[in-house]
Amino acid sequence: MKNKLTEAQNLVLLQKEKFLVRQALHNNADAFSLLVAMNKKRVEAVGRKFFNDITDIEDFVQEVFIKAYKNLSSFKGKSLFSTWITRIAFTTAINQKKSFKITDSFEGQEDFLPSYYDSPENEQIKALTREAINEAVQTLPENYAVCIKMFFYLDMNQEDISEMTGIPINTVKSNIFRAKKILSEKLGGLL
């Protein structure tokens, strides 16, 4: 089940982020540091989906926050800062994709595996399942793979995926549906 913020929580977060952005625009380094701390895990998660090497991920995260800082004045506050920074992260990752291959690592994504795999004696089964899923995701057409990774790996809803990628919402829905169908056929009853 996806963890959604209530409308009131979303409004409070939006106001907090707007305040921190205003402070950062007035050269308050602590305010920008707070924005970084609040969003670093999200940006790292995007990086892990696109890059294999930890150094590449760290460089990517740094580049995203540098871009965000340089373009902070363009943040209008119509959406959450986290949405804006994630959009920057995806745009940066997609632009760098020509020199880096997308990582299909399922590390840290054990939520997708049935709970009966949790026992220590089933670690090998868990690893084989993860490997099978990774291999199946790698075979997806790129437009399906991007949407399904954002949907499952990053726990994003279809509207956010559309907003982040610029892909029309109905195309996102279709890509996710088709990716699920292909994965289901390839993996049989594995999931």
Q: Clarify whether residues 114 and 176 are in a common domain.
A: yes
Pair 88, 75: CB distance under 8 Å: no
The percent of residues in the chain predicted with pLDDT above 90, rounded, is 31
Out of 55-59, 110-114, 137-141, least confident range: 110-114
End residue of a domain, out of 61, 82, 103:
103
Determine the Cα–Cα distance for residues 75 and 110; give it in Å rounded to an integer.
35
Q: Clarify whether residues 112 and 65 are in a common domain.
A: no
Q: Clarify whether residues 125 and 97 are in a common domain.
A: no
Q: Clarify whether residues 122 and 182 are in a common domain.
A: yes
Q: What is the pLDDT of residues 92-107, one digit of tens each?
A: 887 776 444 444 444 4
Give me the number of domains the chain comprises: 2
118 vs 6: which has the higher pLDDT: 6
**Where residue 26 falls among pLDDT bands split at 50, 70, 90?**
very high
Interior angle at CA 6, CA 3 and CA 7, nearest 5: 140
What does the pLDDT read at residue 98?
44
Q: Clarify whether residues 121 and 78 are in a common domain.
A: no
**Where residue 156 falls among pLDDT bands split at 50, 70, 90?**
confident
End residue of a domain, out of 103, 125, 151:
103
Burial of 189 (0-12, 13-18, 19+ CB in 10 A): exposed
Q: Is 0.75 topped by the overall pTM? A: no
Q: Clarify whether residues 73 and 94 are in a common domain.
A: yes
Determine the Cα–Cα distance for residues 47 and 8; give it in Å rounded to an integer.
30
**CB count, 10 Å around CB of 38?**
16
- Residue 128 pLDDT exceeds 70: yes
Mean pLDDT of the chain: 80
Q: What is the CATH number of the domain that holds 80?
A: 1.10.1740.10
Closest C-alpha among 107, 93, 115 to residue 164: 93
- Residue 169 pLDDT exceeds 90: yes
- Token couple for 95: 């632009």
End residue of a domain, out of 103, 127, 160:
103
Q: Clarify whether residues 27 and 67 are in a common domain.
A: yes
What does the pLDDT read at residue 104?
43
Q: Clarify whether residues 150 and 90 are in a common domain.
A: no
Determine the Cα–Cα distance for residues 72 and 116; give it in Å rounded to an integer.
46
The length of the chain is: 191
Q: What is the pLDDT of residues 42-89, one digit of tens each?
A: 999 888 888 888 999 999 999 999 999 999 999 887 778 888 898 899
Pair 156, 172: CB distance under 8 Å: no
DSSP string, 91-132: HHHHHHTTTSPPP---TT-GGGS-GGGGSGGGHHHHHHHHHH
**Where residue 122 falls among pLDDT bands split at 50, 70, 90?**
low
What range does the domain containing 42 cover?
A: 1-103
102 vs 144: which has the higher pLDDT: 144
Pair 86, 46: CB distance under 8 Å: yes
Q: Clarify whether residues 65 and 151 are in a common domain.
A: no
Pair 147, 172: CB distance under 8 Å: yes
